[in-house]
DNA sequence: GACTTTTCTGGACGACTGTCAAGATTTTTG
DNA sequence: CAAAAATCTTGACAGTCGTCCAGAAAAGTC
């Protein structure tokens, strides 16, 4: 049996990587259901079609598996959000589209977002995750900044805040919406949409 | 040995409750250092002057202990923040004081805040914590609202947003600051202060 | 077909977890 | 001081955890 490092860089790289993403997807699902604290390797394996031993064939240890998960999440996440930037023609169209997209992903991908905030918090305690988490966070910040600055462009109004502030504001609104939504508050998504549109209008005057 | 419920409502309630808060303080310290996922009862006991068995003498189980911790955190937290509302005479004084207080608690109580966000996230996975967490969250929202509405009062400017939106915005800014601060970014607190003052000015026009 | 390599299984390990209870210790009570 | 009650320690329990490994199963090679 070759070393993990060798296996990664061999001929059938694609097949090996394919299984890795397959297992990472099972891990992602388990994590989004149970959260980091209650997710075990055996539980992850049960959400796949393999036994628990195989995880150590494709990943060195648990940290590498979860790190890989986080990276995989990022790809899915940015792709998801980048569809939002869309091709709005007017400032108002962009503002409404942004609010609707936020509310939409809150409704549909609540458990995934819950996982993201969980992992981001874990990175505050476990340094192993920090680099990847910060990387994702920055890409999310850029994504928000693209929208906000484009809004300023379309509306002709100057922005009152910078990139980091804008991200903090909208991320806070979203997290608050997530908390309410998962607590069973019916109109949490609607309220988020209204808040987002309102605040975006306030940041460019 | 009487039941836990009986012990709580007996003559020396004060002494019993005193030890509970003492143990809860040890738990709070452990949790803020390790995070929820890595905190065990034995670890908590080692941060106190007792053995691990005593925890089940004062608390029914781990959930009750942590729930008690969260409640205790709330008391400390609201007290801490309520000193912020202070007695500002002018709108500008309040705005500066608010920003400075945010930056100050970010610098001094970073690990406690990190714990709060961790526990709030846990409540999204474990229903047992949800009630207490939502209670704290609401009291924080009211605290923010007191500041924001007072600012509107002092400045004579009308507010553009409601209570929930205001809380989401400032909580997001703070969390973003916490992430940067704990990642070793030196001027994270200063940036937070500037952001908070800026955004507060934007919400009332 | 046989032989080699890759992939996967299932069990074992030591460490750790929450929980519990028997008994030692301390404090309170009469 | 002695009896009783409260408090605390210690060790044990049944699980679960991440990790590892011997060997079964499958895939690839000649």
Å between CA of A13 and C1' of C1:
30
**pTM of the predicted structure, to 2 decimals:** 0.92
Residue A35 C-alpha, separation from nearest chain B C-alpha, in angstroms = 6
Min Cα–Cα distance to chain B from A144, Å: 14
As a whole number, the mean pLDDT across chain B is 90
Mean pLDDT of B84-88: 72
Cβ contact, residue pair B125, A134, below 8 Å: no
* C-alpha span between A96 and B153 (Å, rounded): 31
Distances (CA, A) of A125 to A138, B60, B165, B190: 19, 28, 29, 23
Mean pLDDT within B83-103: 86
The beta-carbon neighbor of B125 closest among A34, A125, A172 is A34
pLDDT at B106 over 90: yes
Q: CA A56, C1' D20: Å apart?
A: 9
Q: What is the pLDDT of residue B11?
A: 45
Contact at CB, A35 and B122, closer than 8 angstroms: yes
- What local confidence, expressed as pLDDT, does residue A33 receive? 96
Residue B89: which pLDDT band, with cuts at 50, 70 and 90? confident
C-beta atoms of B125 and A170 within 8 A: no
Picking from A114, A122, A198, the nearest residue to B161 by CB comes out as A198
Among A17-26, A170-179, B16-25, B75-84, which is the least confidently predicted range?
A: B75-84
User: Mind listing the pLDDT tens digit for each residue in A127-175?
Assistant: 999 999 999 999 999 999 999 999 999 999 999 999 999 999 999 999 9
Q: What would the two tokens of residue B72 be?
A: 């205790």
The burial class, CB within 10 Å (0-12 / 13-18 / 19+), for A46 is middle
Q: What's residue A121's pLDDT?
A: 96
Residues B45, B49, B53: CA angle, nearest 5 degrees: 45
What token pair was written down for B8? 């709580």
Mean pLDDT of A41-68: 96
Please give the pLDDT value at position B150: 93
Contact (Cβ atoms closer than 8 angstroms) between residue B121 and residue A118: yes
Residue B156 has pLDDT above 80, yes or no: yes
Nearest CA in chain B to A166: B173
- Chain C bases near protein CB atoms (7 A cut-off): 6-11, 16-23, 29
Q: Distance from residue A38 (CA) to nucleotide C6 (C1'), in Å?
A: 32
Count of CB pairs separated by less than 8 Å, A with B = 126
At A3, the pLDDT band (50, 70, 90 cuts) reads: very low
Instruction: Give residue A65's pLDDT.
Output: 96
Interatomic distance A39 CA / C14 C1' (Å):
21
| pLDDT above 80: residue A77 | no
Is residue A112 within 8 A of residue A32, CB to CB? The reply is: yes
B37 to chain A, closest Cα gap in Å:
5
Residue A204's DSSP bridge partners are A159
| DSSP codes joined into one string, chain A | ---HHHHHTSTTHHHHHHHHHHHHHHHHHHHHHH-GGG--HHHHHHTTTS-GGGHHHH-SSHHHHHHHHHHHHHHHHHHHHHHHHTT-SSHHHHHHHHHHHHHHHHHHSHHHHHHHHHHHHHHHH-GGGHHHHHHHHHHHHHHHHHHHHHHHHHHTPPBSS-HHHHHHHHHHHHHHHHHHHHTT-TTHHHHHHHHHHHHHHHHB-
Pick from B117, B164, B191: CB nearest A191:
B164
**Average pLDDT, integer, range A22-40:** 97
Report the gap between the CA of B88 and the closest CA in chain A (Å): 25
Mean pLDDT of B79-101: 83
pLDDT at B14: 78
- CB contact at 8 A, B31 and B39: yes
Q: Determine if strand D comes within 7 Å of the CB of B42.
A: no
A42 touches strand D (CB under 7 A): yes
For residue B90, give the 3-state DSSP assignment.
coil
- Straight-line distance from CA B1 to C1' C26, in Å? 15
Which residues of chain A have a CB within 8 Å of the CB of B140?
A: none
Structure tokens at A197: 């549109």
* The pLDDT of residue A12 is above 70: no
**Closest CA relative to residue B64, chosen from B110, B129, B161:** B129
Q: For residue A88, what pLDDT is reported?
A: 82
In this prediction, what percent of chain A has a pLDDT beyond 70?
92
**pLDDT at position B110, please?**
95
- For B8-26, what is each residue's pLDDT tens digit? 444 456 788 999 999 999 9
CA atoms of A15 and A21, how far apart (whole Å):
10
What tens digit of pLDDT does each residue of A83-140 get? 766 678 899 999 999 999 999 999 999 999 999 999 999 999 999 999 999 999 999 9
DSSP states of B19-79: HHHHHHHHHHHHHHHH-GGG--HHHHHHTTTS-GGGHHHH-SSHHHHHHHHHHHHHHHHHH
Alpha carbons A82 and A143: distance in angstroms, whole number: 7
Residue-level pLDDT at A13: 62
Between A194 and A74, the higher pLDDT residue: A194
Check if the beta carbon of residue B141 is closer than 8 Å to that of residue A175: no
Mean pLDDT of B137-144: 93
User: Considering Cα of A130, then A136, then A140, then A143, what sign does the dihedral take?
Assistant: positive
- Would the CB atoms of B161 and A203 count as touching at under 8 Å? no
Let me know the angle formed at the C-alpha of A183 by A179 and A189, rounded to the nearest 5 degrees. Answer: 60
Chain centre to alpha carbon of residue B159: 26
Block residue for tokens 């890795």: A20
Please name the residue that has the structure tokens 């509405």. B149
A2 or B71: which leads in pLDDT: B71
Chain B residue numbers touching A164 (CB-CB < 8 A): 176, 180, 191, 195
Percent of chain B predicted with pLDDT > 70: 92
A108 touches strand C (CB under 7 A): no
Largest CA distance in chain B: 63
Q: Locate tokens 């703070």: which residue?
A: B174
Q: Which nucleotides in chain D lie less than 7 Å from some protein C-beta? A: 6-11, 16-23
Return the ∠ at Cα B97 (arms to B91 and B101), rounded to 5°: 150
Rounded to an integer, the average pLDDT of B160-188 is 97
Give the integer Cα–Cα distance in Å for B172 and A109. Answer: 20
Instruction: Report pLDDT for B76.
Output: 80
The two three-digit tokens of residue B111, written as one number: 């690990």
Does residue B19 reach within 7 angstroms of strand C, measured from its CB? no
Chain A interface mutation, best of B165, B167, B171, B175, highest count of A Cβ atoms under 10 Å? B165
Residues on chain B touching A179 (C-beta within 8 angstroms): 120, 124, 134, 137
Looking at residue B86, its pLDDT comes to 65
Q: Domains of chain A (ranges plus CATH)?
A: 62-203 (1.10.357.10)
């Amino acid at each position: 049996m070759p070393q993990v490092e060798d296996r990664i860089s061999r001929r059938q790289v694609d097949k090996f990587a394919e299984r890795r993403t397959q297992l990472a997807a099972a891990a992602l699902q388990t994590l989004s259901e149970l959260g980091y604290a209650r997710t075990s390797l055996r539980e992850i394996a049960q959400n796949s079609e393999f036994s628990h031993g195989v995880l150590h064939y494709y990943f060195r240890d648990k940290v590498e598996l979860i790190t890989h998960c986080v990276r995989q999440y990022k790809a899915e996440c940015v792709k998801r959000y980048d569809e939002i930037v869309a091709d709005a023609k007017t400032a108002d169209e962009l503002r409404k589209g942004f609010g609707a997209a936020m509310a939409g992903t809150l409704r549909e991908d609540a458990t995934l977002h819950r996982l993201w905030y969980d992992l981001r918090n874990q990175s505050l305690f476990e340094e192993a995750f920090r680099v990847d988490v910060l990387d994702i966070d920055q890409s999310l910040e850029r994504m928000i900044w693209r929208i906000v600055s484009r809004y300023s462009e379309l509306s002709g109004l100057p922005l009152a805040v910078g990139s980091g502030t804008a991200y903090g504001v909208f991320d806070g609104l979203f997290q608050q919406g997530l908390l309410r939504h998962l607590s069973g508050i019916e109109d949490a998504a609607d309220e988020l949409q209204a808040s987002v549109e309102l605040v975006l209008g306030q940041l460019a005057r």
